[in-house]
């Protein structure tokens, strides 16, 4: 069996991730998986392709996740809308996948909406559309 790819801690720390965040297995493993997907596929694909590859990587790493997880948006205990997340990892990490020229404030805002709708504490937005994988952690 092939040993899983492990991104160097220095690469993760360069993205502003502290050792406390990296100690969370779901976050660290998801970042590691995304780095491998980016390394293997490069920048020539649409976001759905990266999402599919990321799901395969997470499955090989024994993390539970749900694709297209949908959360109800409530107002006064009534459903008034919904939010669909690309991935919900370990029932506590919301993951958004984009393949764009930049990671915009709108991408981050959309993930914040998902955190609020799903009652989730942490989110990751990955942009696979650049030569180097770029991502943002949303709390």
| Band of pLDDT at residue 133, cut at 50, 70 and 90 | very high
- Residue of 78 and 102 predicted with greater confidence: 78
**Segment 80-101 mean pLDDT:** 93
Instruction: End-to-end CA distance of the chain: give it in Å, rounded.
Output: 35
* Predicted TM-score (pTM) of this structure: 0.79
25-41 vs 47-60: helix crossing angle, rounded to 10? 130
Q: 93-98 and 78-89: which strand pairing?
A: antiparallel
Looking at residue 12, its pLDDT comes to: 47
pLDDT in tens, 48-77: 999 999 999 999 998 899 998 999 998 999
State residue 39's pLDDT score.
96
127 contacts 98 by C-beta, under 8 angstroms: yes
pLDDT of residue 104: 84
Domain layout of the chain by residue ranges: 9-138
Taking only the tens place, the pLDDT of each residue in 94-115 is 999 999 988 888 888 888 999 9
Q: What is the pLDDT of residue 2?
A: 33
- Condensed to tens digits (0 to 9), the pLDDT of residues 12-51 reads 444 555 545 444 889 999 999 999 999 999 998 999 999 9
For residues 3 and 49, which has the higher predicted lDDT (pLDDT)?
49
From the number of C-beta atoms within 10 Å of its C-beta (0-12, 13-18, 19+), residue 21 rates as: middle
């Amino acid at each position: 069996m092939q040993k899983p790819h492990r991104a160097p801690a220095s690469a993760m720390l360069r993205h502003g991730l502290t050792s406390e965040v990296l100690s969370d297995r779901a976050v660290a493993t998801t970042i590691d998986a995304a780095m491998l997907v980016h390394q293997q596929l490069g920048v020539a694909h649409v976001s759905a392709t990266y999402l599919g590859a990321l799901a395969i990587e997470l499955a090989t790493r024994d993390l539970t996740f749900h694709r297209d997880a949908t959360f109800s948006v409530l107002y006064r205990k009534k459903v008034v809308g919904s939010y669909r997340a690309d991935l919900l990892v370990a029932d506590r990490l919301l993951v958004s996948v984009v393949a764009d020229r930049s990671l915009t404030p709108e991408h981050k805002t959309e993930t914040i909406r998902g955190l609020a709708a799903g009652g989730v504490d942490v989110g990751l937005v990955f942009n696979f559309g650049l030569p180097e994988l770029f991502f943002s952690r949303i709390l």
